[in-house]
Amino acid sequence: MVKPLLKQLRAKVENAHGLTDTTKSDILRLVTDLERQTAGNTAIHSAAAKHGGAQLTDLVEKLEISHPDITNLANRIATMLGNVGI
């Protein structure tokens, strides 16, 4: 369930115009971290995913005005991860 949303987020970020290279790189790094962390079910992965989710939330807040489509998708991912305890 999370994998398709992360894949969709990655595609939107990669194709987004108007994002700085640093912002794009930061978001893609977080997506990669979340993909890796959600693949396992250990407590270590869970704790790391919570940290990654917090960073993702911070980036989402910064992008809300300039990139509403990306923001909406990222919020859905963060909410879904939170709902499953990650």
For 11, the 3-state DSSP assignment is helix
**If you write DSSP's letter for every residue of 5-31 in order, what string do you get?**
HHHHHHHHHHH-SS--HHHHHHHHHHH
Q: For 12-22, what is each residue's pLDDT tens digit?
A: 888 888 888 88
- Crossing angle for the helix pair 21-39 and 68-83, nearest 10 degrees? 20
Both tokens of 48, joined, read 């790391």
pLDDT score at 47: 54
pLDDT score at 51: 61
What residues of the chain score a pLDDT lower than 50?
Answer: 42-45
For 17, the 3-state DSSP assignment is coil
